[in-house]
Structure 1
Amino acid sequence: MLDRQKSSHNLLLRQLARGGFTLIELIIALAITTIVISLTGTGLYALMTANQRSQIETTDRLELEQALAFMTDEIKMSRQVRTNISWPITPTTKIENFNPASGSSEIQPILVLIPASSSRLKNPIVYYLAEPPTSSVWSGQRVIYRWGPTLLQNGNYSDGNGKDIALISPTDPIGYYNEVLVDRMSEVAPAQASIACESSYSYSIPNISTRLGFYACIAPDEKSVKLWMYKQKSSSAKSVSIDALVVTRSN
Structure 2
Amino acid sequence: MVFNKEIARFAVGVIGNIISLILFLSPLPTFYRIWKKKSVEQFSPFPYLATFVNCGLWVLYGIPLVHPHSILVVTINGTGLGIEVVYLMLFLLYSEKKKRMKIFLIIIGEIIFLGSLAILVLTLVQTHKKRSTIVGCICMVGNILMYASPLAVMKLVIRSKSVEFMPFFLSLFSFLNGVSWTAYALIRLDAFILVPNSIGTALGLAQLLLYGMYYKSTKRQNAERQAQVEMGPKEVGLVG
Higher relative contact order (CA 8 A, sep 6+): 2
Normalising by structure 2, we get a TM-score of 0.22
The structure with the largest strand share of the pair is 1
Mark the structure with the bigger radius of gyration.
1
Normalising by structure 1, we get a TM-score of 0.22
